[in-house]
Amino acid sequence: MGHGKLKKFEENKTFSCLLQPESVEVLAGTSGFGLTDHPIKGHWNDVMFKKPAPIVLELGCGRGEYTIDLAHRNPEFNYIGVDIKGARLWRGAKDATEESMGNVAFLRTRIEFAEAFFAPGEISEIWLTFSDPQIKSENNRLTSPLFLERYGRFLKPGGIIHLKTDSIFLHEYTKAVCKENGLSVIACTEDLYGSDRSSLYDSALASVCGIKAVDSLFEVRTYYERMFLEQGLKITYMAFVPGHGPYSYPEWDPDYWKKIEGNRRTFGHGSVQ
C-alpha cells in the first residue's frame, strides 16, 4: 500500500463527518440478512447532522464531489455519500470538513450493508451516479430487484431513486425492471445533455423534486462524467419511485444490450469513482 493511501487513511480517522465501522460490527447479527443494526440507524439527523432535514443518499459516491455539490446547492437537505473505498472518501470528507459543511456526511461500508445503518423511512431520495453496470451479474446491479428490496427497507414511501449513468446497458435494464414491476417513472432520457432542460421542468420530476433538482442534473458533474462527455459519450438519466415490492425480474436480453454497450466504457469501474 502506498504512503499516500496510508496518510489518507490516518487523516480519515480525524473527520467527524466520516463514519467508518468495521464490517464485523454489522455482520455479527442473525436477524434479517445476518446484519446487526449500527447505533446510528434512525439517528443520523440527531447524531451526525444535529438538525432535522430530509436525508438524501448517494450510493457509490466515490470521491464525494456529487454529494458535496448537491449539499452546497440544497442546504435544506442533509446528504450522505456511501462508498467502500476509504482513499476515495478522503477527498469528500476533507472538503466537507474544511468547508464546515454541516449537511454532509460519509459512510464507509458496502452498499449491501446499507440497511444496517438506515431506519425505515429515514431516507428521502437515493442517487446512483455512474454505478458499475455489473454486466455479468444481475443481482449485483444496483437497480436489480434484490437491491430495490433492500432500498425499500429504508426509503420513505414515495421516495425517489435517481440513476445517472454513461451505461446504456444499465439504463435499459433499469427501464425493464420498472416496466416489469409497474413502477412509476417520473423522468427518463437516453441523452441528458442533448435534452431540452425545459422538457424536464415540465415533467413530474420538477413538481416532485423542484426546479433546483432539475438544474442540478445538468450542472453537477463528477470528474469522470466530464471525461465521458469530452469523449462524446451520452449520459442517460432516470428517476423512478420503487414502490413496495416484492419485485420480479424482467425478461430482458443482456447479450443484445452488451453488444450495444460495446467498448464505449473507456474507464474500468474500479476507477470510475
Q: Cα(3)–Cα(8) distance, rounded to whole angstroms?
A: 9
262 — alpha (psi -120 to 50), left (phi > 0) or beta?
A: left
Q: Are strands 236-241 and 155-165 parallel, antiparallel or unpaired?
A: antiparallel
The x, y and z cell numbers of residue 163, run together, are 440513476
The x, y and z cell numbers of residue 168, run together, are 446504456
- CB atoms < 10 A from the CB of 14, how many? 10
Q: What is the DSSP letter of 16?
A: T
132 is catalytic: yes
Question: Could you tell me which of 131, 123, 183, 113 has the C-alpha nearest to residue 157?
Answer: 123
Question: Could you tell me which of 254, 13, 239 has the C-alpha nearest to residue 127?
Answer: 239
Say which of 132, 191, 202, 215 is annotated catalytic: 132
Q: Cα(72)–Cα(139) distance, rounded to whole angstroms?
A: 34
φ, ψ (nearest 5 deg) of residue 216: -60, -35
CA 143 to chain centre: 10
**Could you give the residue numbers annotated as active site?**
132
